[in-house]
Structure formats: structure tokens, C-alpha cells
């Protein structure tokens, strides 16, 4: 992240006041932006890694999401909830990334048409996709499935999942990695873009 920024030290009260952090970040306060970044990094990371083939590829997309938000921080002045803002930014950046991958072109087209489905055929198609994905998620080992749902469907962070399941953070990472690997195998073994379409529409917060 580059550019001029304030280095004012935040008070204890300010550290837990997200609207104020957003305002400070919009004014160039790097510490405020870092607080927001740290709070939402896990959720963004888990989401992006579902659709990328390596940590390096995912990290590049993730970094670009936050760099772009920082570079356009003046837009934060009208934002009241950072999670919705960063979720939209992450989804849009991921779509941009996938558009540049030839093997994902069909998925992007389906995503755009499914998102605005109005005809009975469109609605049936979306329900079919949803059922297929749910079948694959249900087929995951119990622990993997639980971790996956807490992460992707409920948007819980690694720390929150660890506390919920009373296991270590590294244990959560291992289970999530296994779940993501199995889901990606579904992409390769079945109709690849059907799963991608639905997972891109699942909120991760």
C-alpha cells in the first residue's frame, strides 16, 4: 500500500469502532486500515482459495483486493459496513481473475446469467446446481464438512471455528484444506462450471 497516510495512534475505544475505523482509513490512516485488513483477511483468504489452484495464485488475488481498496480509500467515506464492501471487492476481483483464465470462461457466463435468472428454466437450472453442490458438500467427511460450512456459509474466521469446535487453529486449517481439496476434485470430476457458479454466489461473511 502506498500514498500519504496519517499515523495517529488509535485509542482503545476506536479499535472496536468499525465505522470510525472506516472513516479514518478513508482519510489515509494506515493503522485504521490495517485493523480492518487484519479483521477480514481470514475470511477473504478462505473464500479466494476455494477457486484458485495454488497459495501463490490466491495470495496475488487477495493482495490485489486490499491494495485496490487502499488505493481507492477515498471511496470508503460513504461506506458504513466494511464486510459488505470487502466482500463485493473480493468477488469482483475474483471474477476479473477468472475471466483471464480460458478454462473458466464458461463459468463466468453461467454466473452472470444465473445471477439474473427470471425464467422457469433459469430457476430450475439454479436449483439443479444448488442440489449438486449440496450433495458434494454432504459427501465430505463429517469434520471437513462442518469446518467447510462454518467457514464458507457462516463466514467464521479460523479462530472462531477453532473456538466453536474446541480444536486448534492448525487443526481447522488442515480440515479446511482437505475440504477445499475435495471440493476442487468435484470441479474436475463433474461439470466444472456448475460448482463454480454456485460457490461464487455463497456469501463468505
- Tell how many helices (H) and how many strands (E) occur in the chain: 11, 0
CA 46 to CA 100: how far, in whole Å? Answer: 21
Q: What is the fold, at CATH topology level, of the domain defined by 102-205?
A: Arc Repressor Mutant, subunit A (1.10.10)
Give, in degrees to the nearest 5, the angle at Cα 80 between 77 and 86: 90
Parse the chain into domains and list their residue ranges: 1-100, 102-205
Q: Which of 202, 92, 93, 85 is nearest to 148 (CA)?
A: 202
Q: Which is more confident, 64 or 140?
A: 64
Residue 101 pLDDT more than 50?
yes
pLDDT, tens digit, for every residue of 36-51? 999 999 889 888 887 7
Element housing 122 (H / E)? helix 120-138
Mean pLDDT of 52-76: 91
- What's the mean per-residue pLDDT of the chain? 75
Q: Which is more confident, 95 or 101?
A: 95
Region at 71 (left for phi over 0; alpha for psi -120 to 50; beta for the rest): alpha
**Banded model confidence at residue 76, pLDDT cuts 50, 70, 90:** very high
Residue that has been written with the C-alpha cell 479462530 in this structure: 159
pLDDT score of 130: 60
pLDDT, tens digit, for every residue of 78-100? 998 898 899 889 988 887 887 66
* CATH match of 1-100 with 3.30.420.40: no
Element housing 135 (H / E)? helix 120-138
CA 105 to CA 178: how far, in whole Å? Answer: 26
CB atoms within 10 A of CB 48: 23
Amino acid at each position: 500500500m502506498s500514498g500519504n497516510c496519517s499515523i495517529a495512534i488509535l485509542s482503545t475505544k476506536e479499535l472496536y469502532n468499525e465505522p470510525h475505523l472506516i472513516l479514518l482509513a478513508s482519510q489515509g490512516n494506515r493503522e485504521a486500515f490495517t485493523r480492518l485488513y487484519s479483521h477480514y483477511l481470514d475470511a477473504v483468504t478462505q473464500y479466494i482459495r476455494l477457486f484458485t489452484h495454488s497459495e501463490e495464485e490466491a495470495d496475488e488475488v487477495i493482495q490485489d483486493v486490499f491494495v485496490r481498496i487502499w488505493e481507492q480509500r477515498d471511496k470508503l467515506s460513504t461506506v458504513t459496513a466494511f464486510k459488505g464492501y470487502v466482500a463485493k471487492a473480493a468477488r469482483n476481483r475474483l471474477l476479473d481473475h477468472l475471466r483471464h483464465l480460458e478454462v473458466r470462461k464458461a463459468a463466468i457466463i453461467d454466473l452472470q446469467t444465473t445471477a439474473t435468472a427470471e425464467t422457469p428454466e433459469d430457476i430450475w437450472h439454479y436449483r439443479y446446481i444448488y442440489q449438486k453442490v449440496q450433495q458434494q458438500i454432504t459427501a465430505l467427511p463429517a469434520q471437513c464438512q462442518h469446518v467447510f460450512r462454518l467457514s464458507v456459509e457462516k463466514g467464521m474466521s479460523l479462530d472462531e471455528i477453532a473456538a466453536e469446535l474446541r480444536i486448534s487453529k492448525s487443526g481447522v486449517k488442515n480440515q479446511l484444506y482437505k475440504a477445499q481439496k475435495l471440493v476442487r476434485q468435484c470441479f474436475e470430476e463433474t461439470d466444472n462450471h456448475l460448482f463454480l457458479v454456485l460457490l461464487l454466489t455463497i456469501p463468505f461473511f
